[in-house]
């Protein structure tokens, strides 16, 4: 029986890009007044973001007063073609036909409808009517890793290819003016972005790619109120405590050490780091606690600068940057964080076809 699942292909899709300074000057600067304006401007300037994507750009269309129903209808309009593009690229990269897939899993926390992306994209991309489907909702920024673990388990158990899609449209959840005095909303509006990323996993049949060898998590439920994503009448509203980096600092080293120890490894044995760039302070804490170099987190910081925090697809964008290097790292440790507070880890080992 096959005992491994390999990431054989990865595809991404991005909506139109916007410059962070232009978003500030063209939209957000007018929403803050007095001392809050200076604070907001500093948060935007220090976010680590230079450009990011928006399927619904506030420079063109202000959705801040839209009802949740209206936002969800727009989600389907924008997310279906974006997801289809990412899925198509991942299948092409893997050399796998859509009809070969045994499982199609979708992660998203920014939109809901039935029939959803799992049904519509399975139809539109030519997947078998017998393909199994899984939807992972409202897990937030770390959802790619439990999604990856579930898809990998299917591949190992069934011996068939599977596909994971992470698609997020955070731009649809711009909040109305009266909430923008809240610093948590300022941080959210300065960081978040839109993207889709898909990965195809195949049985360990000699294909080149990264084998998923370990997936693990830890949740500190005593800090459940530190990161929230509430459904309101005016879209979904982010709650983001300034204490999140402190909580991550308490748990990240122990979780990483435990996962690596299962394979007889230490932090020094990992040449590739795909860390979810939730923000500059998040990356600073991970770098400090794991004693990583600037080079170790260069891919994560570059993704934050170029694409922003796209929620669940972001860690896959970092992985894509690592695998596209002239010399891809032979081992990658993926880290992502989200509500719970939850930390997720996945360990990947690269193998080549000789």
Query: Are the C-beta atoms of 348 and 332 separated by less than 8 Å?
Result: yes
Average pLDDT over residues 207-226: 94
Question: Does 166 qualify as catalytic in the annotation?
Answer: no
Two tokens, residue 249: 């600092």
Give the pLDDT of residue 177: 65
Q: Do 16 and 76 fall into the same domain?
A: yes
Q: Do 131 and 116 fall into the same domain?
A: yes
pLDDT tens, position by position, 129-149 = 999 999 999 999 999 999 999
Query: Are the C-beta atoms of 337 and 242 separated by less than 8 Å?
Result: no
Mean pLDDT of the chain: 94
pLDDT band, very low/low/confident/very high, at 35 (cuts 50, 70, 90): confident
Average pLDDT over residues 298-310: 98
Residues 192 and 316: their CA atoms lie apart, in Å, by 16
Task: Provide the CATH number for the domain around residue 194.
Answer: 3.40.47.10
pLDDT tens, position by position, 238-281 = 998 889 999 999 999 999 999 999 999 999 999 999 999 999 99
Residues 137 and 311: their CA atoms lie apart, in Å, by 12
Phi/psi at 258 (5° precision) = -65, -45
Q: Is the dihedral of CA 111, 113, 117, 121 positive or negative?
A: negative
**Which residue in 107, 109, 141, 166 is the catalytic one?**
141
Range of the domain at 294: 209-351
Two tokens, residue 299: 């891919």
Confidence (pTM)? 0.96
Domain count for the chain, please give it.
2
Q: Do 151 and 280 fall into the same domain?
A: no
**Is the pLDDT confidence value at 179 over 70?**
no
């Amino acid at each position: 029986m096959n005992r491994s699942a390999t990431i054989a292909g990865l595809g991404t899709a991005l909506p139109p890009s916007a410059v962070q300074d232009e978003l500030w000057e063209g939209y957000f600067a007018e929403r803050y007044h007095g001392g809050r304006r200076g604070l907001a401007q500093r948060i935007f300037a220090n976010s680590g973001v230079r450009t990011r994507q928006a399927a619904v750009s506030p420079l063109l269309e202000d959705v801040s007063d839209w009802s949740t129903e209206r936002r969800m209808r727009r989600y389907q309009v924008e997310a279906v073609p974006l997801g289809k593009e990412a899925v198509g690229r991942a299948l092409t990269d893997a050399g796998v036909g859509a009809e070969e897939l045994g499982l199609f899993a979708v992660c998203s926390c920014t939109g809901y409808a039935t029939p959803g992306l799992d049904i519509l994209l399975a139809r539109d991309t030519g997947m078998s009517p017998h393909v199994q489907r899984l939807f992972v909702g409202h897990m937030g920024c770390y959802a790619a890793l439990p999604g990856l673990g579930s898809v990998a388990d299917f591949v190992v158990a069934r011996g068939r290819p599977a596909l994971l899609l992470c698609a997020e449209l955070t731009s649809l959840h711009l909040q109305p003016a009266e909430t923008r005095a809240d610093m948590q909303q300022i941080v959210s509006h300065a960081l978040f972005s839109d993207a889709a990323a898909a990965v195809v996993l195949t049985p360990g049949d000699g294909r080149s790619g990264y084998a998923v060898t370990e997936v693990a998590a830890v949740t500190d439920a005593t800090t459940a109120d530190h990161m929230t994503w509430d459904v309101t009448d005016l879209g979904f509203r982010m709650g983001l405590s300034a204490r999140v980096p402190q909580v991550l600092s308490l748990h990240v080293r122990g979780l990483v050490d435990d996962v690596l120890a299962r394979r007889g490894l230490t932090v020094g044995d990992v040449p590739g780091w795909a860390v979810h760039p939730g923000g500059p302070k998040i990356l600073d804490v991970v770098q400090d606690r794991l004693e990583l170099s600037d080079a170790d987190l260069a891919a994560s910081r570059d993704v934050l600068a170029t694409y922003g925090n796209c929620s669940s697809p972001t860690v896959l964008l970092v992985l894509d940057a690592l695998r596209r290097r002239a010399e891809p790292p032979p081992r990658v440790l993926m880290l992502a964080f989200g509500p719970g507070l939850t930390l997720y880890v996945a360990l990947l080992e690269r193998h080549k076809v000789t």
